[in-house]
Amino acid sequence: MTARVEPLPHGERPALDTLISRFDSGSAAVEVNFRRLMPSVTPPRGGHAIHPYPAKLLVNIPQFFLAALCPDHGDKLLDPFCGSGTVLYEAALAGLRPLGSDSNPLARLVTRAKLTSINRDVVGDELALIMQRYPMLAPDIPDVINLDYWFSDRISQTLGKLRAAIAQCVSTRHRPLFDVSFSATVKRVSYADPRLSVPVKINPARSARYGAKGDEVLRRLARLENVDVAAVFWSIVSQNSRRLRQVREGDAEIPFTIFDDARALNLADASIDIAITSPPYVGAQKYIRASSLSLGWLGFTPECKLRPHERVSIGREHLGAEEIWQTEGTGILAADALLDEIAARNPLRARIAQRYLLEMRDALAELARVMRTGADLILVVGPNLVAGFEFPTPAFLEELARRAGFATHLHLIDSIESRGLMTKRNRTAGVIQQESVFLLKRGPVDV
């Protein structure tokens, strides 16, 4: 089910209509480079940088489609797998009403911080009050998994005092900004290797494996002995306050809504005008594990447990005993045949992949329910390996979308140049080297 690809002539930057015509002429996926189709906007969108997050969607993709499709001001845009809010932030900047969903509490928090308007003068006053009060407060240290492994006692005590000061000094309106900045501080002052999304402790004994940047990583470890945690926090809050000025400041609130499950959106039928989304992959990015230190310090892991968050994630790598192999399959013959082959080699990976497709089927059906007839869906997804087998996720999701009521109007393929998107999901999952970008339209609702 590998897509036939038609490359564009070198240097060509066609409009969307040209790409659709080229696709219609041969039904082959058209190879593009979104960095050339939509060069980076100037000035840069500072809000995208308020917090690190694994496998962020290339911002040029939503920028291209928002510019090409020209949705009306105030239209409702949905991203049911919003991650850290890349699409929703661009929607807000374009004058649309953003709605999103994500199962990861950290992702929802970062998205809220990006979309919540701030008063920079008040933020400055609240920050000054935190810096004044935190040394005198008792530390508020929540349940953090392996706390002593990732943080020195001195750093933990300071983080706990800052957390207590945030609770005392910050208004509800600005709490997302301060919590996100606190989370970024946590990552900055932990013993985790900053080059990796999933926490791995810096180990001087393995410096030879760190490559060209090994010395820099080890210097970071040395700096942590005397790091001024409060100064790091102050700097991050100040930077993020400046970055977020590009949305809307003062009293101009952006109406937005964030849900926690793409399969159960609390939205009316046919209420969404456009959707842009990049679903998780099979054997997904370890979003919850990558967020574990932040989730702990933000109070989202009582009793130091991550599994409750993992259980509600689509594309998760751990399944409950009740999530058994479904003998009736996914309904896609090619997918079921491939899953049978995978099961003969690795039954667990086959069960994970089957569960992924079944849950994506439910998510796409819910997406079809809430989108109006004729609405555009931009679906961004890449293939990868499952137990050593090539798993054509784009083709399978396109078929599931078709069965949910969408028609394909365009299929683009973009090679991935950012190493941030080329992370191994597990030992047999390979890396993502290209993405399929589909433009689909919601067909008439069956009566």
Dihedral in degrees, nearest 10, Cα atoms 229, 230, 233, 234: -140
What's the pLDDT score for residue 38? 87
- Maximum separation of any 2 CA atoms in the chain, in Å: 70
| Residue-wise pLDDT tens digits, 426-435 | 444 445 578 9
- What span, in angstroms and rounded, lies between the C-alpha atoms of 258 and 261? 9
Same domain, residue pair 207 and 314: no
Same domain, residue pair 63 and 208: no
Supply the CATH number for residue 418's domain: 3.40.50.150
Structural domain includes residue 134: yes
Structural domain includes residue 234: yes
Structural domain includes residue 417: yes
Query: Omega of the bond prior to 43 within 30 degrees of 0, cis?
Result: yes
Q: What share of the chain is helix, strand, coil (3-state, %, to 5)?
A: 45, 15, 40
Indicate the DSSP class of residue 101.
E
Same domain, residue pair 427 and 389: yes
Using pLDDT thresholds of 50, 70 and 90, give the confidence band for residue 381: very high
Strands 97-101, 257-259: parallel, antiparallel or unpaired by DSSP? parallel
Structural domain includes residue 298: no
Structural domain includes residue 108: no
Same domain, residue pair 337 and 397: yes
pTM of the model: 0.91
Same domain, residue pair 279 and 409: yes
Q: Helices (H) and strands (E) in the chain — how many of each?
A: 17, 11
Is residue 350 within 8 A of residue 387, CB to CB? The reply is yes
Same domain, residue pair 347 and 389: yes
What's the pLDDT score for residue 91? 95
Which range of residues forms the domain containing residue 270?
Answer: 5-103+254-286+306-442
Same domain, residue pair 268 and 356: yes
Average pLDDT over residues 3-29: 76
Does 369 score more than 50 pLDDT?
yes
Supply 267's token pair. Answer: 């939205």
Is residue 299 within 8 A of residue 306, CB to CB? The reply is no
Same domain, residue pair 130 and 82: no
Indicate the residue among 195, 226, 246 that finishes a domain. Answer: 246
Number of domains in the chain: 2
| Residue-wise pLDDT tens digits, 194-241 | 888 889 898 887 766 666 667 777 888 889 999 999 999 999 999 999
Angle subtended at Cα 197 by Cα 144 and Cα 261, rounded to the nearest 5 degrees: 75
Same domain, residue pair 130 and 271: no
Q: How many CB atoms lie within 10 A of CB 190?
A: 23
Using pLDDT thresholds of 50, 70 and 90, give the confidence band for residue 447: very low
Q: How many CB atoms lie within 10 A of CB 268?
A: 9
Same domain, residue pair 74 and 159: no
Using pLDDT thresholds of 50, 70 and 90, give the confidence band for residue 105: very high
* Phi, psi (deg, nearest 5) at residue 273: -95, -25
